[in-house]
């Protein structure tokens, strides 16, 4: 049978990996897919670089629309990124009746509803394993492997850049800015690292996972997004003394009143496996009613790990493209007319526990005043750590771990504590998840 014909839009790091892995493992892949898969056309503005990668194995063009217009092409891989031209090209490819494979989490988290609806109307598949946690097959796991389950929550380290920075801050006791520069020098962080360090990239991925886990539309605009730029090395140290690590987590959780969708730094017990995921690695923990807890670990970025996910999608499409669209796996795991309108909760309604660090005057009655405010707010204390004031110092750090409470109540308590004259600086608040 003639190989299925693929057009690749953008041959940067992941595109090159996809081309090379597909060539290297073509025989195994053919035996699995039941048909050879061939990248027949590549579109890239840098045609010379593209030509260097593909040699005479594929036709190289500068104009992506030439790929979309080619009736021989069955599948279009979009590896351009962003919401601009990538969105237009994906929509045009769908309208042209092409199946689409994309690694573009930003595009799907923001415009997924429109894209999946267009694909459904046109009877084509949009596959996106590479969009979340790179090489980890988490989309496959959530959408198919766990399909028997009612998923309760997902908590993931889904941004390698920030996990690398946090690991280095902990290992070396260095401040955020210093480690960010090191990460940029090593190529772990981009020249403009905003999307990574401000939590936006992780929120895109958490948004996609929330939709698949709970059968809700993608709603990036409802996600709470907080990055790691304000984290201080001393909080990482205090957390360690209390038996915790600080990780940037993407959390999607089903609760009685709705769905929580949030990305923020988080204390996690050091004894949890996920707390020990170091460097640029990713991991996703899923709690579901039948299977219990499962954990998925691996490389969340990089040329061949991401190519591994892209090619898995190519194989899926090759196997399924002749199937009746109604018999394919739905894009968001649930049938499109079965999506739920359960609300994504505002952060004020989220229930979690907290780490608080207060710079206080080292004098009688200060601890009592602070704990008094927490008691009045019905916030229960789990642990307290007070650093011994240094020689001649008249102020000290007070660290408090609380039990669960609703965020709005903690906000009010924090405002009261902050107004105490004996609280000498801005209070640091970091959320805490036991993940048990």
Interface with ligand HSE (CB under 6 A): 159-161, 196, 201, 300-301
Closest separation in Å from C-beta 197 to ligand HSE? 9
Closest separation in Å from C-beta 300 to ligand HSE? 5
**Residue 253 annotated in active site:** no
Nearer of residues 196 and 397 to ligand HSE, judged by Cβ: 196
Distance between CA atoms of residues 260 and 382, nearest Å? 23
Nearer of residues 18 and 159 to ligand HSE, judged by Cβ: 159
The residue among 308, 249, 242 whose CA lies nearest residue 431 is 249
Nearer of residues 191 and 419 to ligand HSE, judged by Cβ: 191
Concatenating the DSSP letter of every residue in 33-64 gives HSS-EEEEEEE-S-HHHHHHHHTTSSEEES-H
Distance between CA atoms of residues 269 and 242, nearest Å? 9
| Assigned token pair, 130 | 């590479």
Concatenating the DSSP letter of every residue in 365-381 gives THHHHHHHHHHHTT--E
Nearer of residues 133 and 400 to ligand HSE, judged by Cβ: 133
Contact predicate 162/197, CB 8 Å = yes
Q: Which residues of 89-107 are buried (b: 16+ CB within 10 A; e: fewer)?
A: bbbebbebebbbbbbbbbb
Of 105, 205, 222, 253, catalytic:
205
Contact predicate 155/285, CB 8 Å = yes
Distance between CA atoms of residues 358 and 396, nearest Å? 8
Distance between CA atoms of residues 181 and 168, nearest Å? 12
Q: Strand (E) positions, 227-345?
A: 244-255, 258-269, 281-288, 292-299
Closest separation in Å from C-beta 11 to ligand HSE? 17
User: 321 in helix, strand or coil?
Assistant: coil
Nearer of residues 185 and 364 to ligand HSE, judged by Cβ: 185
Closest separation in Å from C-beta 142 to ligand HSE? 17
| Residues recognised as catalytic | 205
């Amino acid at each position: 049978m003639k190989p299925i014909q693929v057009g690749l839009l953008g041959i940067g790091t992941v595109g090159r990996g996809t081309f090379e892995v597909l060539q290297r493992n073509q025989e195994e892949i053919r035996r699995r897919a039941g048909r050879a898969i061939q990248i027949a056309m590549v579109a890239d503005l840098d045609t010379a670089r593209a030509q260097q990668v593909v040699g005479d194995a594929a036709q190289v063009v500068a104009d992506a629309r030439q790929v979309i217009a080619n009736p021989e092409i069955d599948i279009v891989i979009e590896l351009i990124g962003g919401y601009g031209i990538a969105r237009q090209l994906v929509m045009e490819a769908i309208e042209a009746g092409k199946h689409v494979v994309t690694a573009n989490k930003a595009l799907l988290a923001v415009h997924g509803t429109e894209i999946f609806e267009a694909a459904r109307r046109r009877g084509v598949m949009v596959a996106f394993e590479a969009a979340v946690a790179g090489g980890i097959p988490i989309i496959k796991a959530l959408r198919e492997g766990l399909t028997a389950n009612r998923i309760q929550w997902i908590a993931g380290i889904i941004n390698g850049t920030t996990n690398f920075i946090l690991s280095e801050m902990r290992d070396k006791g260095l401040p955020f800015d210093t480690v960010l520069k090191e990460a940029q020098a090593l190529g772990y962080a981009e020249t403009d690292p905003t999307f990574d360090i401000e939590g936006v990239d992780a929120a895109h991925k958490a948004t996609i996972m929330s939709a698949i886990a709970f059968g809700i539309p993608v709603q990036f605009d409802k996600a709470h997004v907080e990055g790691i730029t304000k984290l201080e090395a001393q909080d990482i140290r205090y957390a360690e003394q209390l038996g915790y690590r600080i990780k940037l987590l993407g959390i999607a959780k089903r609760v009685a009143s709705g769905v929580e969708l949030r990305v923020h730094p988080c204390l996690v017990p050091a004894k949890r496996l996920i707390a020990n995921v170091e460097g640029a690695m990713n991991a996703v923990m899923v709690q579901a009613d039948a299977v219990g807890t499962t954990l998925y670990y691996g490389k969340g970025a990089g040329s061949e790990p991401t190519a591994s996910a892209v090619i898995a999608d190519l194989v899926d499409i090759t196997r399924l493209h002749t199937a009746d669209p109604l018999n394919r796996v739905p894009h968001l795991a649930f049938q499109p007319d079965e999506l739920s309108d359960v609300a994504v909760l505002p952060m004020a309604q989220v229930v979690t526990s907290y780490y608080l660090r207060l710079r206080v005057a080292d004098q009688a009655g200060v601890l009592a005043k602070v704990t008094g405010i927490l008691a009045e707010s019905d916030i229960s204390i789990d642990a307290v750590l007070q650093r011994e004031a240094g020689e001649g110092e008249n102020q000290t750090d007070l660290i408090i771990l609380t039990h669960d409470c609703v965020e709005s109540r903690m906000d009010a308590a924090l405002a009261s504590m902050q107004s105490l004259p004996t609280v000498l600086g801005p209070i640091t608040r970091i959320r805490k998840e036991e993940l048990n």
